[in-house]
Structure 1
Amino acid sequence: MVRAYLDKATRGTGLTRRLATRFDRPEATISDWIGAARPTRISQRREPPGVGAHPQAPT
């Protein structure tokens, strides 16, 4: 799927339709696959949640 995506992504609009045709799947399914494969902002964090977000006041 990834190789097909990269190959067809350079050919302009209609990417989801072309991939749906190639894999014989509905366009909604292809869109779901693409969405699941894309990194999210949460997965791109460099630090665990909460680290550096709010400095602790000295006690």
Structure 2
Amino acid sequence: MELEVPILQTYVDGLDRVLGGGIPKGSTVLVAGTPGTMKTSLILWMMHENARAHGTKSLYVSLE
């Protein structure tokens, strides 16, 4: 029996394609990159859009 895990979209078409539709719900994700590459903006956009579209709750933790 295979469990089907819901997917949360990133709302970035190319990234969703690479990730097979998005990020598995309940996952812990580390987003890393050089300064100024819009990492925080990407995460906040994803959280906002998933909350708006599906009522999902998210937690953002910054280690800066």
TM-score (norm 1): 0.34
The structure whose RCO (Cα within 8 Å, separation 6+) is larger is 2
**Higher strand share goes to which structure?**
2
**Higher helix share goes to which structure?**
1
TM-score (norm 2): 0.32
Q: Determine which structure has more spread, i.e. the larger CA radius of gyration.
A: 1
